[in-house]
Amino acid sequence: MRFIRKQIFSFPLFPKAAPPYCCMAIQTLTSSAPTTTDAINEGDDDRLCVEQPEPQQEAEPEDAPATGRPFGYLTGEARIERAWSHWKKIGQPKFLVAPMVDNSELPFRMLCRKYGADGAYTPMLHSRIFSENEKYRSEEFTTCKEDRPLFVQFCANNPDTLLAAARRVEPYCDYVDINLGCPQRIARRGNYGAFLMDNLPLVKSLVEKLACNLQVPVSCKIRLFPKLEDTISYAKMLEEAGCALLAVHGRTRDEKDGRKFRANWSAIKAVKDAVRIPVLANGNIRYMDDVWSCLEETGVQGVLSAESLLENPALFAGYETAEWASDSERNCVDGKLDQADLVVEYLKLCEKYPVPWRMIRSHVHKMLGDWFRIQPNVREDLNAQHKLTFEFLFDVVNRLKEHGVRIPLYVKDGSVEQISANGTVP
Ligand SMILES: Cc1cc2nc3c(=O)[nH]c(=O)nc-3n(C[C@H](O)[C@H](O)[C@H](O)COP(=O)(O)O)c2cc1C
């Protein structure tokens, strides 16, 4: 049975309507919520971690301010110039948090931003559910004014539905991104993500629809085709359709396991050389040396990291886990920061920016994985906890610390002083 829940933050859907962007809201649930497998689970663990006061009224999407002609109406050279001027205007981010379902949510993005990320993607949002369902919108998309540059990612297979969803977020982001890379079974069943690689006319129509109707540019995140020439024609088609930025995950649709298959940076370089819009690389970014190598080898504008950031959100600030520090011949020293510290910072951000508990649970497991391996009893207690509280989670961290086992994050050459002096990366 569904039940009524209170809205948390008021959410001015368009900046004109009210002062600064605050978090989107938990909204009254209704019986019209979707029941697909993509829809929200309803377990206790899915509830937002903080209840908040009554909402203000949302403005209607039609109130969106018009700030110029949509990108897609430009042609040829002007379009490429606009893609670059937008990229420069947002500060040319180099170190980006990749889109991650249930994992690149607002507090995690803010944690990564504090530690060097200069751009971030939201988790993939389902365009149909997003455009239809208030509860989904309010739980799955939250942002704040410091959460920029921001890419909001959707999966879609219907241009009108995608546009309806995109219109709701465009005032709050720098790109609306289309997920063309998800290789999971759920994407096959839903006919989105990497499975749209079998229907390129549909992909083209999705990009064109957004490019011709949104004020913010459209970006796409793609995977490789097995043949390089197919990937290149694909990238050129996207550019031609109005895509203003391309993120290339250097693996094919069948190469699902990132640990088993190394990303193909030379294919990313070939795409970068073939198109004229800004390109980002994704895959094999585990610590900063990978970032610099990737930028040099591919010539891309920036990199996305996913799995490694989950374990170490301070990656872009130059911190690395023992796994990589011990693997190298470089002189790595204790960075005076560890994953338990990062979990505490993350939990405080969650108190400030409420998100469903399942996301918090997932991050605690990923950041403290190595610590739990040493103290499995603490992990078991966490797993046994059906309903989480911040008090319980802070206590988990304290218990891990009390046992005197500390696993530091490492830095090269003492560069940490620069970072910790003001809490951010220089
Ligand atoms: C937990 C998790 C969730 C993910 N969700 C998404 C998603 O919502 N959209 C997307 O395009 N890719 C998603 N990905 C893929 C990543 O964005 C990225 O392309 C992939 O993990 C390769 O990067 P990596 O080698 O740095 O992990 C996800 C990956 C992980 C680990």
State how far the Cα of 246 lies from the Cα of 259, in Å rounded to an integer. Answer: 23
Quick: pLDDT tens for 265-321: 999 999 999 999 999 999 999 999 999 999 999 999 999 999 999 999 999 999 999
The percentage of residues in the chain with a pLDDT greater than 70, rounded to a whole number, is: 80
Q: In terms of C-beta density within 10 A (0-12 exposed, 13-18 middle, 19 or more buried), how is residue 326 classed?
A: exposed
From the CB of 117, is ligand 1 less than 6 Å away? Answer: no
Closest ligand 1 atom to the C-alpha of 103?
1
Identify the band that residue 50 occupies on the pLDDT scale cut at 50, 70 and 90.
Answer: low
From the CB of 249, is ligand 1 less than 6 Å away? Answer: yes
Over residues 25-36, mean pLDDT: 31
With CA atoms as reference, report the closest residue to 212 among 221, 204, 220, 201: 204
Which residue's CA is minimally distant from atom 21 of ligand 1?
306
Which residue's CA is minimally distant from atom 6 of ligand 1?
100
Q: Which range is least confidently modeled, 39-53, 85-99, 240-254?
A: 39-53
Which residue's CA is minimally distant from atom 2 of ligand 1?
100
Closest ligand 1 atom to the C-alpha of 258?
25
Among 38, 95, 101, 261, residue to substitute to test ligand 1 (most atoms within 8 Å of Cβ):
101
3-state secondary structure of 386: coil
Mean per-residue pLDDT of the chain: 85
Q: Give me the active site residues, please.
A: 182
Which residue's CA is minimally distant from atom 30 of ligand 1?
100
Per-residue model confidence (pLDDT) at position 21? 36
CA angle 256, 314, 110 (to 5 degrees): 90
Among 95, 100, 305, residue to substitute to test ligand 1 (most atoms within 8 Å of Cβ):
100
Distance of CA 151 to the CA centre of its chain: 7
Compute the half-sphere exposure of residue 259: CA atoms within 13 Å on the CB side of its CA: 2
Question: Does CATH place domain 69-317 in 1.10.1530.10?
Answer: no
From the CB of 283, is ligand 1 less than 6 Å away? Answer: yes
Domain boundaries, the chain: 69-317, 322-420
Quick: pLDDT tens for 330-384: 788 999 999 999 999 999 999 999 999 999 999 999 999 999 999 999 999 999 9
- Phi and psi at 102, nearest 5°, equal 65, 5
Identify the band that residue 414 occupies on the pLDDT scale cut at 50, 70 and 90.
Answer: low
Structure tokens at 241: 């359709």
- The residue with greater pLDDT, 404 or 250, is 250
Is residue 7 predicted with pLDDT exceeding 60? no
Angstrom CA distances, 313 to 30, 120, 338, 374, stand at 36, 12, 10, 21
Per-residue model confidence (pLDDT) at position 62? 40
Closest ligand 1 atom to the C-alpha of 285?
26
- The residue with greater pLDDT, 216 or 20, is 216
Torsion of CA 101, 118, 345, 172, to 10 degrees: -60
84: how many CB neighbours lie within 10 A of its CB? 16
Per-residue model confidence (pLDDT) at position 72? 67
For 185-242, what is the HEC assignment?
Answer: HHHHHHCCHHHHHHCHHHHHHHHHHHHHHCCCCEEEEEEECCCHHHHHHHHHHHHHHC
Q: Judge whether 303 and 96 are in contact, CB under 8 Å.
A: yes
State how far the Cα of 228 lies from the Cα of 146, in Å rounded to an integer. Answer: 39
Say how many residues make up the chain: 426
Closest ligand 1 atom to the C-alpha of 155?
9
Using the mean position of ligand 1's atoms as its centre, give its distance from the Cα of residue 121 in Å.
10
Is residue 213 predicted with pLDDT exceeding 70? yes
Per-residue model confidence (pLDDT) at position 75? 79
Q: Judge whether 308 and 96 are in contact, CB under 8 Å.
A: no
Per-residue model confidence (pLDDT) at position 57? 44
Q: Judge whether 161 and 127 are in contact, CB under 8 Å.
A: yes
- The residue with greater pLDDT, 200 or 418, is 200
From the CB of 153, is ligand 1 less than 6 Å away? Answer: yes
